[in-house]
A and B are shown apart, each in its own frame.
Chain A
């Protein structure tokens, strides 16, 4: 099959997401058309039937994520892809996936918002929404892609984290990454590390669907495998039944948060460039991280002690990487295509007098290396 050896290819970010997902074992996709995410649906509709997987175009995004969660409960790895307006519609069922601990991946190819907003200009306006969009305290993992190659490998990581921790993973892309075509060399099947959800080791009579293991993650069994059990969006006890018992409610909430906290080393991903002696730092993510790298490189060439942290995981915010670096630096620039949704996280974890400087574009235009150099020189 084509997945066995994908080799060197000219791909768009959206297409790389599909190939990566298939390599990760995704066999179910449900979606609703929206620019700039539609190519993901289109390519899945062509490739999934070849892999004995299933593609379906649902009546809206609420239905799309509902179907993905259903498919996951039946044992399939599933995902959906959308942009801001559709992502807004998905929030309630996303919360269901958080509370019922159903693995699934949601790609949001961000465009300018709010509402119908700016179709189809790039934006990073949905960052805080990805973290807090669904109501109530909940665990969630948010990753950001910055290049076509990233799209391929990060979607695999998204599935792996989602399966391992039983948590929905949001992958934020943006219009630039989605539509840029780049030549990429894709790994062979043997080089790809794929994680599947852990199954119970006990017989059905002993199985409690929400009894966690040492990692605070309950083993998961699919419907129809002989372990009849109940799944609900209500707060539930270890047996999956709704509870009003305050002890059980508290234990439930704490475990949901703890399972992600415990996995922080694996979940919180960043890339560092020129950090050893950096006095000034840039923290960037998504397509902006590429402009930032180019700006940092050319300032390094001119002798400035400047470094870059690219955030691959936005949430849980990689505090353990960022905080110590802030202690060593005099100032940090956080360029974003929004009004400052990650800079507030940087401020939150900043315990020193390192100056946090925001650089924001909300005019539907991309942040270029040139403008970053200019604003870095001012610092």
Chain B
């Protein structure tokens, strides 16, 4: 039996924190938070050994509410701080939480290099296709033709596929879910945390307030319904043509592979340096 919502609240929320939270009613961020907590609980990770690091955005507020070692960094830079934490204390489970603008616009460079470097970190990207916190401007994942406060005449750029970007950048584990598929999401996050290497879970999430409303996608319920209707598993996707995949969301594990891990390789560097020994300077 998985942990109940009530148990989650008692065990993982910060009770000395000034609630309520900043999120709009029905926002997908809460579902992601629930899935993350169920994953952490499923793995029985001690709270003292979990670090949550976020960037800036609605998604970035998540760690504030949770009773772990938590860090709310600067916009786009969560992975850089996470890298320092992990290298300084490799025993910690370091999880970065980012929005789509956070991870793929301002933090895009850090994202691809973190994937390439394959440090043992977990990155959860809440992709709501928009800049939520700043009031609905287009992001790198806003679909072509969509309306946003900075594309009132229709968006003219192509959207990034964040998970596919992570695959090509070299991440060890990459998966995608939607907030409708909450159980699957918890399972994928569990796999991602367990995986030794850089692991990415992209979660397609609803910002009905800033994105749905402007694009006639309805409220939270309608947006979740559309995720249900449009999701196809990775396996099924392989048998579909490109036209058939148009507008669909591929969910499941996109990549799971073994590659050298930065911290382990660095340990070898330390050994080699000590064997060479002496004062190698000047």
Contact = CB atoms under 8 A, between A and B. Distances in A.
Interface in A84-137: 92-93, 96
A353 B84 CA distance: 51
Interface string A267-295: 00000000000000000000000000000
B85 to A, nearest CB: 4
Nearest to B91: A224
Contacts of B270: 49-50, 52
Contact of A60 (B109, B272, B281): B109
Contact of A70 (B72, B85, B272, B280): B85
Interface in B89-142: 89, 91-92, 109-110, 113
Contacts of A373: none
Contact of A11 (B72, B82, B282): B282
Contacts of A73: 71, 81, 84-85
Given A18-B281, A46-B273, A69 B84 contact: yes
Nearest to B49: A224
Interface centre among A15, A66, A233 (most CB of B within 10 A): A66
Given A15-B282, A43-B281, A46-B280, A223 B74 contact: no
Contacts of B269: 49
A224 B48 contact: yes
B16 to A, nearest CB: 6
Interface centre among B92, B277, B279, B280 (most CB of A within 10 A): B279
A59 B113 contact: yes
Interface residues of B, number: 47
Contact of B71 (A12, A63, A68, A231): A231
Contacts of A49: 266, 269-270, 272-274
- Interface size grouping (class) on chain A: 35 or more
Contacts of A210: none
B115 to A, nearest CB: 11
A253 to B, nearest CB: 19
A185 interface: no
B64 A71 contact: no
B71 A228 contact: no
Contact of A224 (B67, B72, B84, B89): B89
A2 B278 contact: yes
Contacts of B53: 70
B87 interface: yes
A209 to B, nearest CB: 11
Contacts of A71: 84-85, 87-88
Contacts of A10: 282
Interface in A206-234: 222-226, 228-234
Interface in A15-42: 15, 18-19, 27-28, 30
Interface string B62-80: 0110011111111001001
Contacts of B272: 49
Interface centre among B73, B274, B277, B281 (most CB of A within 10 A): B281
B89 A222 contact: yes
A233 B73 contact: yes
B51 A223 contact: yes
A228 B69 contact: yes
B84 A30 contact: yes
Nearest to B61: A242
Contacts of A231: 70-72
Given A49-B266, A228-B48, A241-B18, A75 B88 contact: yes
A93 B48 CA distance: 25
Contacts of A59: 109-110, 113
Given A66-B80, A223-B92, 11 more contacts: A18-B281, A49-B266, A59-B110, A67-B83, A70-B80, A70-B86, A78-B84, A92-B74, A224-B48, A228-B68, A230-B70
Sort A-B residue pairs by CB-CB distance and give the 7 closest, nearest first: A70-B84, A66-B80, A67-B84, A49-B273, A70-B81, A71-B84, A74-B88
14 contacts: A30-B84, A46-B280, A50-B270, A56-B83, A63-B113, A66-B81, A66-B83, A70-B85, A72-B88, A73-B85, A224-B48, A230-B63, A231-B70, A233-B73
Interface of A: 2, 9-12, 15, 18-19, 27-28, 30, 43, 46-47, 49-50, 52, 54, 56, 58-60, 62-76, 78, 92-93, 96, 222-226, 228-234, 239, 241-242
